[in-house]
Amino acid sequence: MWFLDARIEELFYEKLDRKAPSRMNNPELLGQYMIDAGNEFGPGTAYGNALIKCGETQKQIGTADRELIQTSAINFLTPLRNFIEGDYKTITKERKLLQNKRLDLDAAKTRLKKAKVAEARAA
């Protein structure tokens, strides 16, 4: 249930507009546990040495995962959020205005056509 506590803590930090303290992600935790287990078995044993090497690799995978998430947030999610909050609202407002103008033009054309037909009948 520690993950639920972590989520709630992150929610509070987000609501307070503060940066949450950095914590290890799952691959990094697995790597740390593997390193600890390898040290308990002893780095001189084959199994302990293998656990330590695998744990270090797992920690590198976790670090790469963290960097990927941060890079994605900076290079994709932040510009997307800015677009949605700023430009998209403007675009939808302008689109709605343009649609109303087009409907007004269609109505004016229809009235003009009816007036020409009525004028032709009167003549």
Domain membership of residue 59 as a residue range: 1-87
Would you list the DSSP string of 13-54? HHHTT-PPPP---HHHHHHHHHHHHHHHH-TTSHHHHHHHHH
pLDDT in tens, 76-119: 988 898 888 889 889 999 999 999 999 999 999 999 999 999 88
Domain assignment present for residue 121? The answer is no
Tally of CA atoms within 13 A in the half-sphere of 7 that contains its CB: 4
Domain assignment present for residue 34? The answer is yes
pTM: 0.60
Separation CA 78–CA 114 (nearest Å):
53
Q: What's the domain count of the chain?
A: 1
